[in-house]
Amino acid sequence: EIVLTQSPGTLSLSPGERATLSCKASQSVTSTYLGWYQQRPGQAPRLLIYGASIRATGIPDRFSGSGSGTDFTLTISRLEPEDFAVYYCQQYGTFGQGTKLEVK
Amino acid sequence: DVHLAQSGAELKKPGESLKISCEASGYDFTSSWIAWVRQMPGRGLEWMGIIYPGDSDARYSPSFQGQVTISADKSISTAFLQWTSLKASDTAMYYCARRMRRAAAGSFYYYMDVWGKGTTVTVAS
């Protein structure tokens, strides 16, 4: 069973800064199965990125995904107030434990 | 507009049974898988299982196999998650989501693009 480990657990940044979130798989995964989701407090998760690097419909271009094999990254180029949330990576039937992005 | 409408919050006692629902609209319900995801209070997302409404083929995460039953009724475009005997540890938010499979450039992409708002299940004596 593949395990996805996200780091850091919590990331404290200010609006306008760049955020880099990591997702490491315990074994090589198919990148077309790798997605990133955002969950704001009290809301359902929302798809941001699929296929490791393809933005979902309506997702701003400040969000980008990259990576292959066992190492994947979600980058938010310039943080907006609404971006402070929890982010999960997912591969098929497995989720990472999440990274909480909080205001510094 | 593609939409998943989940049933309302439930308050149950340990040992009771429960069936929650997820009604799909705006697309062909029989052509995409529906996944169920658990989120315990203050915790992360956990994949429970998935069903293909076209033929009711259901698959479960090992952690949830035997603990819940996932089903679907394509005549009413609705998927279900069912317990026969609830425990306090089943207290959580439960989400359904459409799991898409898209073919492009010789590869298959899998992702959950539409989510329900969630059903809160509270089990307490």
Q: Is A58 on the interface with B (CB under 8 A)?
A: no
Mean pLDDT of B51-62: 96
Taking only the tens place, the pLDDT of each residue in B97-123 is 999 999 988 899 999 999 999 999 999
Q: With CA atoms as reference, report the closest residue to B93 among A39, A19, A6, A23.
A: A39
Cross-chain residue pair A45–B109, CB shorter than 8 Å: no
| pLDDT score for B105 | 86
Q: Considering only CB atoms, which chain B residues are within 8 Å of A87?
A: none
Is residue A96 a contact partner of residue A3, using CB atoms and an 8 Å limit? no
Per-residue confidence band for B37, with pLDDT thresholds at 50, 70 and 90: very high
Is residue B35 a contact partner of residue B99, using CB atoms and an 8 Å limit? yes
| pLDDT score for A14 | 98
Q: Is B27 on the interface with A (CB under 8 A)?
A: no
Q: Do β-strands B92-104 and B119-123 pair in parallel, antiparallel, or remain unpaired?
A: antiparallel
Those residues with Cβ within 8 angstroms of residue A101's Cβ, 6 or more apart along the chain or in another chain: A10, A11, A13, A19, A21, A76, A79, A83, A84, A85, A86, A87
Q: Does A1 have pLDDT greater than 90?
A: no
Taking only the tens place, the pLDDT of each residue in A27-84 is 999 999 999 999 999 999 999 999 999 999 999 999 999 999 999 999 999 999 999 9
Smallest CA–CA distance from B95 into chain A, residue: A44
Residues 77-96 of B with CB under 8 A from A: 95
Q: Is B47 on the interface with A (CB under 8 A)?
A: yes
Considering only the beta carbons, identify the residue of B45, B97, B110 that sits closest to A88: B45
Q: For residues B62 and B66, what is the distance between their CA atoms, to the nearest angstrom?
A: 9
